[in-house]
Structure 1
Amino acid sequence: MSPRPEEERMRMEVVERIERVIKDLWPFADVQIFGSFTTGLYLPTSDIDLVVFGKWDNLPLWTLEEALRKRHVAEENSIKVLDKATVPIIKLTDSYTEVKVDISFNVQNGVKAAQLIKEFKKKYPVLPHLVLVLKQFLLQRDLNEVFTGGIGSYSLFLMAVSFLQLHYRVDACSPNANMGVLLIEFFELYGRHFNYLKTGIRIKDGGSYVAKDEVQRSMLDGYRPSMLYIEDPLQPDNDVGRSSYGAMQVKQAFDYAYVVLSHAVSPIAKYYPNNEGESILGRIIRVTQEVVEYRDWITKQWGSQSKNEPLCNGTLLKLTSVHETKQPAGRSPGLPNEILGAVTTHRAQGHSSSSPAGSVTKGKVGFEAHSSRRALYSLVF
């Protein structure tokens, strides 16, 4: 699932082919990569995002589209110009590798966001693994595209950053953190406890939750925070999740994943009927045979893996038992008794209700004990 060196080489060749066409048209144009490819958080089927900087009276979308078509860089029926979009782009599929590419012009935010992501990756070493698993989880459920109401890569990344910023265990952010536990806790937070109706996410200044009522008071008349309100740390007046109108579907998917994984790691899991050849993570994530064959083709074309290189194919991702640990009675295994008041109260009856008092508040939130013991699990890559 994690990017391989040969996949990076293949993608760089795609970028170079497109860049040659652009440089032939405008020698002084500056082509930059942004998005998941430059941050290293891309899946085998992820797009490449490019931005072209230059001086034009009108954006030369159709000029570049014609040149790419004539040079046979793009598949004939794949290239499209979205000139009416909020950010006009050219969408295409590379004719040789079938990698999808989005090209925009003079858009600064994408490059700045990529730099921000790299900084957070350094601060939280567990982020890349957590985000890649979550991206695959959403991808296979068609919940990863903003234009269909899903959660985009940037929104998902900021949700993961917020999760780690506000985590009650300091060691959750260390390189040796238990990835399996973190994944289950992420699903628990955003699938069960987070109050989407009343609470927004803020990343800047160390991270916090923010009351939507307060956000709305600062917005123009007629505007209100979206269901998944995420304040853009680079542009505070921008709601990153505003187009994710299917946020509640994502919440349901996260809740489902939490239930499945929690059952899988419970002490009585050995009594559940299950396919012995299936890993614990394999219960919620599948990598199709088509993707496996595509990655094998890339390996043959752009170089085989060295023996010292870790095998990162998503089909080998699994959760393995490390040990069991005791939990204090009356405490949730996934979240602490004392957390930010913006997170909803979870009771045994399944009801959730709470609201943040003011912009950012801390308070006691009651939880019924899920179990006095639980197994700790680690992701194996």
Structure 2
Amino acid sequence: MDPRIAWFQPEQLGPANSAWMNIWETTQGLGSLSNHNIHGSANGVPDAVTSSSETRMQGTINPKGDNEIEHKFDLLETNINQHPAGRGSSGPWVVGGTAFASWRERERECGLGNRRRRDNRASTFGFNRSLLSIGSNSAVDDAGCRGVGYTGTPWKTRNYSAGILGLHEEIQDFYAYMSPRPEEERMRREVVERIERVIKDLWPTADVQVFGSFSTGLYLPTSDIDLVVFGKFREGDSLPLWRLEEALRKHKVVEENSVKVLDKATVPIIKLTDSLTEVKVDISFNMKNAVKAAALIKDYKKKYPVLPYLVLVLKQFLLQRDMNEVFTGGISSYCLFLIAVSFLQLHSREDACSPNANTGVLLIEFFELYGRHFNYLKTGIRIKDGGCYLSKDEVQKSMLDGYRPSLLYIEDPLQQGNDVGRSSYGAMQVKQVFDYAYMVLSHAVSPIAKYYPNNHSESILGRIIRVTQEVAEYRDWITMKWADLSLNSLTLNGNDVTLLVEPQQTYECNNNLSEEGAESPSSSSPPPSSPSSSSSSSSPQSSSASSSDAVGAL
């Protein structure tokens, strides 16, 4: 079982499963042998890593075909995880008075500490080990964390109907739980304001605009903030990027090692992490289509009321599998949004677009279409003018210099000739996880599912989606530090309504706050995260993909 794609389902857990996992890890060189190498080596990658990796190669992977790429990726991750420099710090993080050392220690013991995990709070890589530990120890730990027994389905607070109707009800609850909270919006606006002040100091006449998921309201708790700076910059001049990078460091707005200047990309971009909140931010220059894309998304949200529910579930589904970034082979949020729109445009039933449509049915049918039936080799996607499918042979005739349509060809509705999916080199891996999700969900809502053990108490959506404990605690930290500050300007979710509070009322409210509740967000330690492995230099792979990220972020 690929740990990046799947985890054990509830009916598969038990003593036999635990014993089999121990046997499998021993034979694969990922169990006690790997842990011994990690703790017993001080410098470099241990020699035993090579031998254990060679053992994995013998007789298990066909040296030809697509499996070779998958095997090399697994081998690379194994070496990264086993290298001493690739492991996170063992020191505790203290966030809002809660120590995270015990949770980090459990990650290392369970084999969860890896590069992808540290870069992505939402990653469920290695989630199987957490599931196996739930049955043996479900108590809350001494640090006050949610405990080893945290199941990863915090949105499930009630029992649902049986079958497909229950999945629909659960998607509604998932959307309500994952939708941005007022305090999360307030925190992100503060991040934007800090960066905007630095930009205005450099270029007083510059115009800073927000686009992407923060603009459309379709962002997850750990999503990036996308900014575009409009000004009189010479085309092809990379000097503004470096000046802004230097200014951000000088004002200590960013984490020291988090800034990347991708000046060689088709669309130059700055990637950074805010020092106070650890929110990731992407900054581009003079990207007019970025703002137009946000407006396009808002229009389709109004046209298809079920679209936000599908998109938020699908974004979380790809995010936790590290398939939401173009530079890792995944598909961008903009790309995901376009294929979701195409799915609804060309759906056979007219009621699929109504507000009362069953989102459970639509989600399964989405996975079925793009996981099993869609012909990626011969077919492209167009959403303009009502939407249609395109023959790639016909598309190629209009392309210059012998170029061919990409495997995931999606025509950009805002820029003629632009293929949104051209940089998604791992489109077949995305297809694979869609197919897996279709298989799991279709079985979970079938009549035979009523015979599964604890069927009524288990989450159907939780079979393919989990919210990690790290994300849940990060949201708790945000709520604790920004909830009181949001009283002055409470924006209702999904509506442009602002609650105005008189200054005298604000003064009285602040006087009634406890000493802990009145603490400034910046006075506490930042939310839990591991040291960033990024550097200030950009890799060629990141540079080639950043243009799609800049325009294509939701």
**Shorter-chain TM-score: what band?**
0.7 to 0.9
Alignment partner, residue 172 of structure 1: 352
Please give the residue correspondences for 1:141-156 in structure 2 after superposition, counting only pairs within 5 Å: 141-156=321-336
Kindly provide the amino acid, as one letter, of the partner of residue 261 in structure 2. V
Kindly provide the amino acid, as one letter, of the partner of residue 310 in structure 2. L
Distance of aligned partners of 1:104 and 1:262 in 2 relative to their CA distance in 1, 3 Å threshold: same
Shift of 1:221: 2.8
Counterpart among 129, 132, 139 of residue 319 in structure 2: 139
Kindly provide the amino acid, as one letter, of the partner of residue 44 in structure 1. P
Counterpart among 365, 372, 396 of residue 216 in structure 1: 396
2:434, 2:329 → 1: CA distance?
16
Kindly provide the amino acid, as one letter, of the partner of residue 52 in structure 1. V
Kindly provide the amino acid, as one letter, of the partner of residue 111 in structure 1. V
Indicate the SS of the match to 1:236.
coil
Q: Does 1:157 align with 2:337?
A: yes
CA RMSD, Structure 1 to Structure 2 (Å): 1.7
1:274, 1:36 → 2: CA distance?
37
Please give the residue correspondences for 1:187-226 in structure 2 after superposition, counting only pairs within 5 Å: 187-226=367-406
Please give the residue correspondences for 1:316-327 in structure 2 after superposition, counting only pairs within 5 Å: none
Q: Does 1:47 align with 2:227?
A: no
Kindly provide the amino acid, as one letter, of the partner of residue 33 in structure 1. V
- The CA deviation string for residues 172-223 of structure 1, in whole angstroms up to 9 with x for no partner, is 1111111111101100110111111110000011000011000001111320
Counterpart among 162, 185, 191 of residue 14 in structure 1: 191
Alignment partner, residue 113 of structure 1: 293
More strand by share: 1
Q: Does 1:80 align with 2:257?
A: no
Alignment partner, residue 211 of structure 2: 34
Kindly provide the amino acid, as one letter, of the partner of residue 14 in structure 1. V
Which 4+ stretches in 1 moved above 3 angstroms?
Answer: 273-277
Kindly provide the amino acid, as one letter, of the partner of residue 226 in structure 1. S
2:196, 2:482 → 1: CA distance?
20
Q: Conserved in 1, the CA contact under 8 Å of 2:364 and 2:438?
A: yes
Normalising to structure 1: TM-score of the pair? 0.79
For structure 1, the 5+ residue unaligned runs are 311-381
Please give the residue correspondences for 1:175-186 in structure 2 after superposition, counting only pairs within 5 Å: 175-186=355-366
Alignment partner, residue 269 of structure 2: 89
1:192, 1:13 → 2: CA distance?
44
Counterpart among 182, 197, 203 of residue 5 in structure 1: 182
Normalising to structure 2: TM-score of the pair? 0.54
1:274, 1:107 → 2: CA distance?
52
Shift of 1:301: 1.1
Shift of 1:236: 2.4
Q: Conserved in 1, the CA contact under 8 Å of 2:449 and 2:455?
A: no
1:147, 1:86 → 2: CA distance?
14
Shift of 1:159: 0.3
Q: Does 1:301 align with 2:481?
A: yes
Distance of aligned partners of 1:222 and 1:273 in 2 relative to their CA distance in 1, 3 Å threshold: farther
Equivalenced residues, count: 309
Larger Rg: 2
Alignment partner, residue 334 of structure 1: none
Alignment partner, residue 440 of structure 2: 260
**Greater RCO, CA 8 A, separation 6+:** 2
Q: Conserved in 1, the CA contact under 8 Å of 2:212 and 2:226?
A: yes
- The CA deviation string for residues 29-73 of structure 1, in whole angstroms up to 9 with x for no partner, is 000011111011111111000000111333411111111101110
* Paired-residue identity, %: 84
